[in-house]
Amino acid sequence: MQQKPILLTILDVLSIIGLGAATYFALVFAPTEAVMGNVQRVFYFHVGTAWVGLIGFVLAALAGIVYLITKDAKWDRFEVAAVEVSAMFFFITIVLGSIWARPAWNTWWTWDPRLTTAAVTELVYIAYFMLRAGIEDPEKRARFGAVYALLGGLSAPITFMVIRLFRTIHPVVVGNGNPEAQGGFDMTGSMLTAMFVALGAFTVFFINLMWHRIRLGALEEKVEQIKLKVSM
Amino acid sequence: METINTDNYMIAGFIVSFVTIGIYLLSMYVRARNLKRDLETYEALDSPDKK
């Protein structure tokens, strides 16, 4: 693995500071929501992780397009990194949503359009790794992965838009409210601040993890190449 | 309206978040360590002295 760039070390430090700040703003700075109580504080992490999760899936789709055009392996590494890091963040989003839903909706899970599309999106990206693991030829693996990421990328805007297009009990905090929503709340100024701190912190952390994962991908490729050379 | 006590759910939410991130970071570290070890082994096999 190449020597770690100084900018990556700075990002490591910024990520730790950012996550610490996001936790402080969520737990201490933001006021307690009047009806739901303290569980509403997971909302800041829920939104932050959902943001980077969905953005990553869109980035993976774009990287897939660029790979199919250029056939440059670096875009395959970028795509894998975006999917893996986003799948991890999106898993947190879903679990936090479920934890919040228990006291707010009196159930851990319901097959509401938003929850269903979110679960499908996560499963689509878990299947992405199963697909890649089943293909031995690196070039074919990258090509199939790119097409899959491109198609899978459609699930991200669908998941984002579904609460704005269909009848759902999931609250729409940003944008127009949904009359069917349960558990919605009005954002105060300090709640908005906490949300933007979480969005910023998770964005920095996402970039940081992406960079580390891309470097890991380069190392994987190097090992794969030398393995081939030795075995020949 | 009375505020519900949902502290346990909040604690569970933050624990799940940090544990998931921790497991992911650990998995990246372990994968990188194993790959470096593999690379060293293959480089040793590939070196001219061994041929």
pLDDT category of residue A46 using cuts at 50, 70 and 90 = very high
Residues 4-43 of chain B with CB under 8 A from chain A are 4-7, 9-10, 12-14, 16-17, 20-21, 24, 28, 31-32, 35-36, 38-39, 42-43
**Looking at the predicted structure, is the pLDDT value of residue A146 above 60?**
yes
User: Does residue A178 lie in a domain region?
Assistant: no
For position A228, what pLDDT does the model report? 87
> Residue A152: which of A60, A63, A45, A85 has the closest Cα?
A60
User: Does residue A121 lie in a domain region?
Assistant: yes
User: Does residue A177 lie in a domain region?
Assistant: no
The whole domain housing A22 covers: 6-29+41-170+194-231
Average pLDDT over residues A207-217: 97
User: Does residue A77 lie in a domain region?
Assistant: yes
pLDDT category of residue B19 using cuts at 50, 70 and 90 = very high
**DSSP H or E segment with residue A85:** helix A73-105
| 8 Å CB contact of B32 and A216 | yes
User: Does residue A184 lie in a domain region?
Assistant: no
Distance (Å, whole) CA B15 – CA A126 = 23
The alpha-carbon gap from A88 to the nearest alpha carbon of chain B, in Å, equals: 8
User: Does residue A17 lie in a domain region?
Assistant: yes
- The partner residue sitting opposite B31, judged by closest CB among A27, A33, A216, is A216
* Number of alpha carbons in the 13 Å side-chain half-sphere of residue B7: 1
Looking at A89-98, A157-166, A187-196, which range is the least confident one?
A157-166
For position A184, what pLDDT does the model report? 66
User: Does residue A179 lie in a domain region?
Assistant: no
> Phi and psi dihedrals of A35, rounded to 5?
-100, -50
Counting the structural domains of chain A, the total is: 1
User: Does residue A159 lie in a domain region?
Assistant: yes
**Looking at the predicted structure, is the pLDDT value of residue A94 above 70?**
yes
For position A179, what pLDDT does the model report? 57
For position B17, what pLDDT does the model report? 97
Average pLDDT over residues A41-65: 96
For position A2, what pLDDT does the model report? 72
For position A118, what pLDDT does the model report? 93
Contacts of A1 in chain B (CB under 8 A): 32, 35-36
| Encoded tokens for B11 | 């604690």
> Residue A81: which of A211, A174, A223 has the closest Cα?
A211
Closest residue of chain A to B21, computed from CA coordinates: A88
**Looking at the predicted structure, is the pLDDT value of residue A164 above 90?**
no
